[in-house]
Amino acid sequence: MNAKTSKSDHDARADPVEELGQTLDALAYEARARATGGISPATAALAWTDWATHLALAPGKRRALQTQALQAQQRLGRYALEAAQSSDSANCVEPLEQDRRFAHPAWQRWPFNLIHQGFLLQQEWWDNATRGVPGVTRHHEDLVNFAGRQSLDMMSPANFISTNPEVQQAIAESGGANLWHGAMNFMDDARRMLSGEVPAGAEDFQVGRDVALTPGKVVYRNRLIELIQYEPATPKVHAEPVLIVPSWVMKYYILDLSPHNSMVRWLVEQGHTVFIISWKNPDSGDRDLGLDDYRQLGVMDALAAVNDIVPERKVQAAGYCLGGTLLTIAAAAMARDGDKRLRSLTLLASEVDYRESGEIKLFVSESQLAWLEAAMRRKGYLEGQQMAGSFQMLNSQDLIWSRRVREYMLGKRGSMFDLMAWNADTTRMPYRMHSEYLRQLFMNNDLAEGRWRVEGRPVVVSDIRLPIFTVGTVRDHVAPWRSVYKIHLLNDSDITFVLTSGGHNAGVVSEPGRPRRSYQVATRAAGGRYVDPEQWRSDAPSHEGSWWLAWNDWLAQNASAQAAPPAMGGKGKARQLLGDAPGSYVLQR
């Protein structure tokens, strides 16, 4: 045996010492990930070290912060003198528009006016302290700013009985009954959480009984999806059917909530033949399902079933959130391969370029991924509650602290409604798919930069030659509208962009007739010049009401003609009817 052969054989064999080391590392990471809930302490430590070290090396920044602290004390002192002389004195600092913690009139009485004004000045100072430190990486700066804001939200005077005049007033008026009711609310929530029950009131919104009521049939099922075809509500329909691809991190019925705000029902009533994908809630047996499995078993298999039921008709495809990203990948691969079965593409709060994906990206780094993967390794999936907790942190002021004050200190149960009940109906994410999504899309931005591969070859968004309708929402913490808008940089097709009031969910579920809703809309013709998002927002005309109306007009413009509705399951039952909507996958917990 020559040296070359011996070296080759040695390389081919696994090094037992290295294997043992990798196993020990994996076990250690897994144990620590369970203890921290999948949050990497290394990520936080690196960010704080980067910020603190560079702040220590920046005498100019420190001097500016000292000056700002002194000025804040002077502002508060002047305010105290003015407030002592007049009850109508103007605040020295105003809360942000979305901050409603100090809106109650009791916060304008002494000493609570000084308390909350001092807190807001401190909040303003810490924001300045964590921004603009020379040499700090952008990711670390954002992470430290976010962590500082979370800490301040936790220490807000609104969160403590001794400094919250609204709670004190409630105690005086009720003789302390509000605290008793709050304690009961707390114990009820704790019991429900430990037993795995739904939140209080969510039992009034059962799927198939109270929500997801639009009549339809399951016409296809595989290991990952059920495809639902909805019964027609008009004697004639647009010839091209609509296929909706929701995100698999949410139950599909967000688009078929109560009858009055169901997007699916509304589309059917406008004369569309509607199909929607209902994703399976993955378990440990699905740990190795990857993003391409979701593309093939989800989008492509559903499209094939729609083609059987409505043959010789192109499809108007719509994707929501991650479903829109997946649909874009599928459409790019189809364009590359000459597959012309799509007529148009609609993307609802969906990102294609992830470079500016907002604060949710703070949870994505190599260190954080290592901890998340360790947390998922044993079960083979990410728990839905863990993912929901991350989204709550993005808006902790409203979703965590203000809720606790209201329910546990004021003793008032927030009224449950359909969207809130849906939000509590969480889903899991398979190990492999979640890692691929975060690493390749979020961190590496492979899709936008032409490195994403389907069947071994790259796909690019610029290959898509379809009319595109894109929706961004003004207060989106998950897919910020400026990030969604970047589709204009990646594709030269005819793009109609809508910016609507509301957030990631409530902005999309925005039915006609809902009060205080508005949207802006403008179209860039194929090959037209690029307009930056700020200029677009300044120029685009504004409309009162629901953007659904503009979308329906757009869908109708891209349809060919009116036709008789297709039979359920297709002519001659091309696809077997497997049961009534909403199907069985949506009921999985």
Give catalytic residue positions.
321
Residues contacting 18, CB < 8 A, separation 6+? none
- What does the alpha-carbon distance between residue 287 and residue 363 come to, in Å, rounded to a whole number? 21
DSSP 8-class letter at 580: B
Residues contacting 85, CB < 8 A, separation 6+? none
Q: Are 552 and 545 in contact (CB under 8 A)?
A: no
Q: What are 454's strand-pairing partners?
A: 457
Looking only at the bridges linking them, the beta strands covering 381-382 and 429-430 are antiparallel
- State the Cα angle at 585 between 584 and 587, rounded to 5°: 70
311: which 2 tokens? 């043959």
DSSP readout, 517-575?
-EEEEEEEPTTPPP--HHHHHHHS-EEES-THHHHHHHHHHT---EEPPPPTTSTT-SS
Q: Are 321 and 480 in contact (CB under 8 A)?
A: no
Q: What are 518's strand-pairing partners?
A: 544
Q: How far is CA 327 from CA 10, 262, 344, in A?
A: 45, 22, 11
- What does the alpha-carbon distance between residue 227 and residue 275 come to, in Å, rounded to a whole number? 7
> SS3 for 162?
helix
Cα atoms found within 13 Å of the Cα of residue 130, Cβ hemisphere only: 22
Q: How far is CA 316 from CA 229, 275, 312, 354, in A?
A: 14, 10, 13, 25
